A and B are shown apart, each in its own frame.
Chain A
């Protein structure tokens, strides 16, 4: 029997980026808020100690900061005809764990999806006709660029993002991204200083007509005092970013931007090492009463709340909805139901080049030390004569030169022994690369649901991921790989190769943690699980915040858009919902 606790105004499940933003905004509005977090409390100086944070074996190889499969695993398959099997280890993607969530271990690429993304169906139909979208479940997000732009701005100024504007209120800016949608003001801090590889990349790409610009970075180019008065440090280019937490207060995370203010508020409480099992609904299924959770000692509690915000990692948000029977599960055969629909991933490839006599010094690295270009991204180029829609961002980022995992060798080199060692020495200083991060568009067959066989340690069904790269995305990625091969030519490298995506997604090698969709936002309750304010259509006192709300995935990293959606949802709650609780959109 669960121990009943006193009611709170809002119960937040998960204390990562979205949970922290919602908690901050809701407590500012006077609400009494509790955040319930499955993982441990984590703080910079004590848990991300610079005296040992550079332990590559512990953090990058053994994945100390990540979710472990004995806590929550998933089952995976490529198509509905297969039997999904549980993964033994997280590989293709690595969900975060603990306070700060994936905001702790991310690289810090902080993008805005474009105005065309938010109204993708309208835009592409207008430009190419509806037939072009055949087989794709592309749909508008229900929110417009002008509505959401201030929320992007809020997130970027919270996080101190380093970059260069390319489009200020419609005025194009030299040195920025000419393909970005209009932004209301410049980035809060200037771009990162560039090392050799991105400098060479930008020069070479400019020379053949592309438009490179500094990748917008949550590793800060200079010290910064954010909008809450919290101070951040300057990035030291140490190269221990992705898979690591920042010990220098220079990578934006909930810890470095929000928690110092939030945690001191008398109307906020964080309960860590407490795992929410489900959201409890009233018998009619139209109202969330409470959440049930287990604390670290296995004691079960029931926490009632007027508002329940599901703010876990995107995939876990979807699972929480399915376990709690919030909304109807998506059925890929009939197309009915919305929860689990529009699951998307990312469609990537990479170019690697080897030179002689260079000194790329990759140990000067940062999660977002790089140059990017969007000439081939989204709908920045004409698709009318192409057999796909979508595109990819091209990124030359020197994230690290770490000794265990970063040992590039020219293909054909020995795989072990003294000659291998010599090849890694040559390759370390003489190799650079760039990648394509491709869009992922929804199709009927890719979806999320509960596994019929496998359960977690509490007996709850695991999430089942059914996914393969759609034909559209494979065609897109191959087109981009063709262009990448052309891009390598003017470098005159001794050796250059570009990888190509293949059908048959493999859950083992790391690819991307940018899983999106499953509880998508939209204007139509038949095709979206939450409305434009990320409010459940079916249970209006539940908000589901995260990349789970993305109706498709773009060729861009998701965190900037996740942060914007969190601010957007928080504003709807504080300015509309608490004045008049109930559905904010009537379909």
Chain B
């Protein structure tokens, strides 16, 4: 029982005001969502499935044999900002060094201070399991020449301090564009930043001010609430975003979240999702009927959801130009983010057994074009394609 008391006393101490000096760097880990790819203990081993093959994330604990225990501060900064590991080894941009290049030297230094305090874990990882020729690292030299222009974040004097902080976080440590900006065939960002992109079987939504697919109808407070808790009155984070919220945005401080909101709300509207579908009367009629039977109990006949279930009316996830995320959720189910302020982690069950491709397509076309939503129709072929992909595990 003494150990219990000691543990309790220690818990009380560690939550006191005596913040260790590594806190600043630990905060950078949250901003950069390092755990998202390198795992809770940062020992790597997480498999990333890319269009170019499999990558397994490396061990970044200070273990000397299998981690980065032999790095110097300079080695670390070079890897983070130039994508070059000791010995000149070129990193793949799955490691978002093009974003991290915008981080300040002070933030990189703080991060390095913290990384030295992480518990070393022995975990040898075979990182490069890419397909030929992408497994040839030297090719990244060409990629860097074509697509990588390292530059620290440049302050925009025409904008507020909050806007600049938001821009710094979104484009730097937060590397939001890694998912939300569409990529060219070489996996580099297109110029249409943050207008939404398909990856890993999901569609990361448009973050611009577009009223149809973007965050045009969200207030700054809505964005803050979403990033902090994983939910707001418009939507619920699930899939890869649930992880980003759990590992990263829910740990950001209020000022940074407000800054991100200021910046996102100022993004010019994208070209939208293509607007509503036409000639879909039959799908809408069938979808309405199926929706009442299979969906309305939770999401409501009015599509407004409830305290626990997300609304579909006005939910940007529903209104993206591509329906990958919602097809996937209907077929495979999904789980909402679980955070300290909204711990439920409510799940969407799989309806793969219950709904045919055309039934799922009808329901999704219906919810994308009802209650004020307008978005392209979903075809049975799209559902079938995603069903096959889910079956094969890719």
Contact = CB atoms under 8 A, between A and B. Distances in A.
Interface of A: 7, 9, 29-32, 43-46, 49-52, 223-225, 228-234, 236, 238, 247-249, 260-261, 264, 306, 578, 581
A581 B349 contact: no
Given A51-B354, A238-B297, A306 B308 contact: no
A30 B344 contact: no
Nearest to B354: A51
Those 10 A-B pairs whose CB atoms lie nearest each other, nearest first: A45-B347, A223-B307, A30-B8, A49-B349, A231-B308, A51-B354, A231-B344, A236-B297, A223-B306, A45-B349
Interface in B326-371: 333, 335, 338, 340-351, 353-354
A43 B353 CA distance: 18
Nearest to A32: B7
B3 A260 contact: no
Contacts of A261: 343
B349 A50 contact: yes
A578 B343 contact: no
Given A45-B333, A45-B349, A248 B298 contact: yes
Interface string B150-191: 000000000000000000000000000000000000000000
B70 interface: no
Contact of A30 (B7, B341, B354): B7
B346 A45 contact: yes
B4 A264 contact: no
B4 A234 contact: no
B345 A233 contact: no
Contacts of A51: 294, 349-351, 353-354
Q: Classify the interface of chain B: helix, strand, loop or mixed.
A: loop
Contacts of B100: none
B298 A233 contact: yes
B353 A260 contact: no
A279 B245 CA distance: 42
A225 B342 CA distance: 9
B308 A232 contact: yes
A16 to B, nearest CB: 20
Contact of B11 (A30, A43, A46, A52): A30
Interface of B: 1, 3-5, 7-8, 11, 294, 297-298, 306-309, 333, 335, 338, 340-351, 353-354
Given A32-B7, A50-B298, A249 B1 contact: no
A229 B1 contact: no
Nearest to A234: B306
B1 A52 contact: no
Given A50-B298, A52-B353, A231 B307 contact: yes
Instruction: Name which of B7, B307, B344 has the most chain A CB atoms within 10 A of its CB.
Output: B344
Given A44-B347, A248-B298, A233 B306 contact: yes
A46 B307 contact: no
Given A30-B11, A260-B343, A306-B3, 18 more contacts: A9-B7, A30-B4, A32-B4, A32-B7, A45-B333, A45-B349, A46-B333, A49-B349, A49-B350, A50-B298, A229-B340, A230-B344, A231-B346, A232-B308, A233-B298, A247-B349, A249-B344, A260-B338
B308 A578 contact: no
Nearest to B7: A30
B22 to A, nearest CB: 18
Nearest to B295: A50
A29 B341 CA distance: 20
Q: Classify the interface of chain A: helix, strand, loop or mixed.
A: loop
B342 to A, nearest CB: 7
24 contacts: A9-B4, A30-B8, A30-B11, A31-B4, A31-B8, A32-B4, A45-B333, A45-B335, A46-B350, A49-B350, A50-B297, A51-B353, A52-B354, A229-B340, A230-B344, A231-B342, A233-B309, A248-B297, A249-B344, A260-B345, A306-B4, A578-B1, A578-B5, A578-B8
A249 B4 contact: no
B297 A29 contact: no
A46 B349 contact: yes
Contacts of A52: 353-354
A236 B292 CA distance: 13
Contacts of A43: 347
Contacts of A264: 338, 343
Contacts of A46: 333, 347, 349-350
A230 B349 CA distance: 18
A230 B348 CA distance: 16
Given A223-B306, A578-B1, A581-B1, A229 B342 contact: yes
Contacts of A578: 1, 4-5, 8
Contacts of B351: 51
A505 B4 CA distance: 48
Contacts of B294: 51
Contacts of A225: 307
Contacts of B308: 223, 231-233, 249
B9 to A, nearest CB: 9
A52 to B, nearest CB: 7
B3 to A, nearest CB: 7
A28 to B, nearest CB: 11
A228 B4 contact: no
A261 B345 CA distance: 9
B341 A229 contact: yes
Contacts of B340: 229
Contacts of B7: 9, 30-32
Instruction: Name which of B307, B309, B333, B349 has the most chain A CB atoms within 10 A of its CB.
Output: B349
Contacts of A229: 340-344
Contacts of A230: 343-344
A260 to B, nearest CB: 5
Instruction: Name which of B340, B347, B353 has the most chain A CB atoms within 10 A of its CB.
Output: B347
A468 B351 CA distance: 47
